[in-house]
Amino acid sequence: MADLLCRGWRPILRVRSERVRWYTSVASFPPAVPTWSHPPSSTQISDDEINRLATRPRRPVTLADLVKHGRPPLSPDALLSSANYTLALLPPRLAHRIQCLRNLPFIVVSNPHISQIYNNYLHSISTLLPYHKRHITTLQEEEQFTETMADLVHTHNNTIPILARGFLECRKYITPSEVTKFLEQHLRARIGTRLIAEQHIALHMASQPGSYEEKGVSPYIGVIDTALRPAEIIRNCDAFVCEICELKYGVRPSLILNGEVDAEFAHVPVHLEYIVTELLKNAYRATVESGNERKPVEITIAAAPNAPHTKLEALKNLLVSQDTSHDFSQEGLTEYCNTEGDAIPLNSAAQSITIRIRDQGGGIAPDILPNIWAFNFTTFSNNQTSNTDNDNIDALNAISGSGGGNSSSIAGLGYGLPLGRAYAEYFGGGIAVESLYGFGTDVYLSLQGVGKIS
């Protein structure tokens, strides 16, 4: 602080409506001084570099983008193409998240937990910049880059529970609507960033010698299962959530699974597993707490027939890419769809899977229904004990897959449903809730796949 004052900076603390922000005034500098201050960091990266990267366009990444490099094992050229594609996408995304964190009130981003996330992003972008300034041209460079990607994924493993704890501690200084808006944007961006990094890591690992058995080919292309069966995911999630219910309540709800139980489509199994787990937790909890544990929860799977689109039309609708190696004019798309080898054309439009989860748990009260999509960090009052807060944070750890949490907790901080909707909506799906108050709830989960892959 003394160093700043010696250089002519004078921090001014202004408090308005319990919100604290830091501004700077300068005696000898022109008015074009940065408005926002942000926590110090040991990472050496200039604000100009972050601003430059943050202003670059960011396009949605589709499932078709992720499978376009081919089915593993990839050729050396395809593996390098995947690495450079990953490298082109990640730094602007990380820089944009840093800018969004800086735009929070200073007292919020200075919270130790939120500041930890802020510094994690600075660390990640600083490790990528040496690669970003050049092209990856050798397999040795690609291997080093993949190790950097693995470090990036590990660094951000606990982002959700850490942010939850930070916003819980800062609830005096930021409104619930501001938190919800920030988290909706941040967590959706995190899904894409993590998926891009994990996809290249998985493609790299699957392309190493000895990764595939001679007797067959894996249905996976990176983290995407091209023959994903929702029924299997549902059964696994049912077993997990039933154990939680038995530990918490001493009973195990029953499940009826019907519809097209043999349906398959191409999607990210980890996403579906998270969504189904959260929806089953809500349904089972409502069923048990309403005293209707003997009434089964019914899950119906419906697979929409493939739409009569050509490969070209499907690719035009699905593929959004920054890759400039292909000409995406009409002629270029036609050529791309007819390419053999590493390029993977689509045989049909994206297949839609709808899953209905029906319970008889009493439904959702009308005064609660409008708020089910909010990140309910404010549901805990200020006079609650720290043990209660820790219990709920531990529940969030468990449901986010970050480990170290209390797996017997079935109620968390209210992040489960909005997070599940974010996963569903990322690739064009969604979640709809129909409540019959006094009877039960129907939840409709729709997922858009990538279509059949040849």
78-95 pLDDT, tens digit per residue, is 999 999 999 999 999 999
| 191 in the same domain as 133 | yes
> In the structure encoding, which two tokens stand for residue 6, read together?
């010696």
CATH of the domain at 397: 3.30.565.10
| 186 in the same domain as 87 | yes
Q: What is the mean pLDDT of residues 333-358?
A: 54
| 171 in the same domain as 92 | yes
| 97 in the same domain as 17 | no
Q: Residue 149 falls within a domain, yes or no?
A: yes
Q: Residue 114 falls within a domain, yes or no?
A: yes
> In the structure encoding, which two tokens stand for residue 320, read together?
């959004």
Question: Measured between alpha carbons, how far is 341 from 348 in angstroms, rounded to an integer?
Answer: 18
| 280 in the same domain as 164 | no
| 429 in the same domain as 382 | yes
| 79 in the same domain as 27 | no
| 155 in the same domain as 85 | yes
Point out which residues pair with 440 in neighbouring strands: 436
| 200 in the same domain as 149 | yes
Last residue of a domain, one of 173, 206, 239: 206
Q: What is the mean pLDDT of residues 32-39?
A: 46
The confidence band for 142, taking pLDDT boundaries of 50, 70 and 90, is: very high
Question: Measured between alpha carbons, how far is 338 from 264 in angstroms, rounded to an integer?
Answer: 25
pLDDT digits 0-9 by tens, 386-445: 444 444 433 333 333 333 333 333 344 567 888 899 999 988 899 999 999 999 999 999
What pTM did the predictor assign? 0.74
Q: Residue 95 falls within a domain, yes or no?
A: yes
Q: In which element (H, E) is residue 336 found?
A: helix 330-337
Measured in whole angstroms, how far is the alpha carbon of residue 58 from the centre of its chain? 16
Last residue of a domain, one of 181, 206, 231: 206
Question: Measured between alpha carbons, how far is 104 from 405 in angstroms, rounded to an integer?
Answer: 28
Q: Residue 215 falls within a domain, yes or no?
A: no
| 403 in the same domain as 267 | yes
Give the chain's domain count: 3
The phi and psi torsions of 10 (rounded to 5 degrees) equal: -130, 105
User: Range of 4's domain?
Assistant: 1-32
